[in-house]
Amino acid sequence: MIEILIACVQTLLLVALTPLVSGVGRFMRAKMHTRKGPPILQDYYDLAKLFKRQDIHTKDSSFVHRLMPPLFLGTMLVLALGMPMLTRLSPVPFLADVILIIYLLALPRFFFALSAIDSGSSYAGVGGIRELMVGVLVEPSMMLALFVAALSAGSTNVGVMGATIGSLSVAHPVTIIIVGFAFALACYVELGKLPYDLAEAEQELQEGPLSEYSGPSLAMVKMAMSLKQILVVSWFIAIFLPFGSAVELTVVALAIGLVVYLVKLALIFFICSVFENAVSRVRFKLLGRQTWAVFGIAVFGFVFWILGI
C-alpha cells in the first residue's frame, strides 16, 4: 500500500517540478551566454498559456497527430510510477524492468516520428526521421550497456540492479564502472541536448517535428519531453548511483532519499548544462561515429564481464 502511495507522490512531485527543472536549465543557459534570459518560472507561464489556447491540427492529419501528445505524456507518467527515485527498490516492481523501460521509451519515439510525417509539413517530416535515426543509433549501445549491467547484477529490474550496486556487493566492479560510463554517454544523447540536439529551439531538430502542434497538444508534448529528460537521468541514478536512496520505507529515510535524489539530479543537470554550453552542434553525419564509440565501450565492458572483474 505504501509503495503505491510513494509511486503516486513521486509522479505528482515530478509533474509539478518538471517545468521548474527545464526553467532553471534555460535560465542557466542564458547566464552562461551572458544573456539576461527568461525567469526561472517561465515554463510554468508557457504551459499555462498553451493550455488556454485552441487546439488546432492540420487539415490532412489523421488520428495519429491527435493521439501522440497524450500518448507521449501518458507513457512518461507510467515510467515515472515505476522508476525508483526516493527509494532504492522500485515502488511498482513490474514497471521497473529495463527491457520494458527501453520499449516504453521507444513507443513515444515511434509515434513522435509518425505524427511528424502525418502532420503534412515536409519540414516536420524530416525532423521526425532524424529523431528516429538518433533512436536507431543510440538504443543498441544503451541496451548492450544495460544488459551487461543486468548480467553482472543478476536481474533486469532497475531497483534490484541499483540495490546490488548500492550495497557494493557487485561481483564485477570494473565492468560496472565501464558499462556505467557507456550508459551515461548513451543517456546524454537521449537527453536531446547539444551537441546532438537543441530541445529548446522551436525550429531545431527535436522540436522541428512539433511545428504543426499548438495549444494543449503542444503543452503536453513540451511537458513530456522535459519529463523524459528527468526520467532518463533518474534511470541512470537508479541503476548506477543509487547511494543515499531510502532502503527502508520510513519517513526519515524517504526524506533523506528525496534530498539526496534532488541533489544528484541537480548535480547531473548542472554538469550536462556546462557541457552543453561548451560545445557546438555536431553534424548529423558524425553522430553515428560517436554512438559507435559508446557501443565499443559497452563491448569492452562485456569482455570485462567475461573476464570476471
Partner 1 sequence: MTSYLVVNILGGLLIVTSLFVVLSKTPQRTTLIYSLQSIVLVLLLVALGVTTGSRELFTWAATAFITKAVLVPAIMLFALKKIGPSAKEAVPSSISPVVAIILVAVELFVCYLAVNGIELPTALGVKPALAVSLAHFFVGLTCIITQRNILKQIFGYCLMENGSHVTLALLAPEAPGLVEIGIATDAIFAVVIMAIVAVRIHRVVKSLDADDLRELKG
DSSP state of 150: H
129 lies in the site for partner 1, by CB under 8 A: no
The residue from 63, 103, 270, 292 that contacts partner 1 (CB under 8 A) is 292
CA 97, 99, 102, 103 torsion-angle sign: negative
The residue from 84, 174, 210, 223 that contacts partner 1 (CB under 8 A) is 174
27 lies in the site for partner 1, by CB under 8 A: no
Question: Whole-angstrom Cα distance, residue 67 to residue 65?
Answer: 6
Footprint of partner 1 on 65-94 (CB under 8 A):
none
Strands (E), 63-174: none
39 lies in the site for partner 1, by CB under 8 A: no
For residue 235 the three cell numbers come to 534511470
304 lies in the site for partner 1, by CB under 8 A: yes
Q: Are 24 and 71 within 8 A, CB to CB?
A: no
Q: How far is the CB of 188 from partner 1 (least distance, A)?
A: 17
For residue 259 the three cell numbers come to 534530498
The residue from 80, 96, 238, 297 that contacts partner 1 (CB under 8 A) is 297
Please give the angle made by the CA atoms of 220, 221 and 223, to the nearest 5 degrees: 65
286 lies in the site for partner 1, by CB under 8 A: no
Q: Decide whether 148 or 239 has the Cβ nearer to partner 1.
A: 148
178 lies in the site for partner 1, by CB under 8 A: yes
Give me the torsion for CA of 211, 216, 217, 223, rounded to 10°: 90
Q: Which residues bind partner 1 (CB under 8 A)?
A: 173-174, 178, 289, 292-293, 295-297, 299-300, 302-304, 306-309
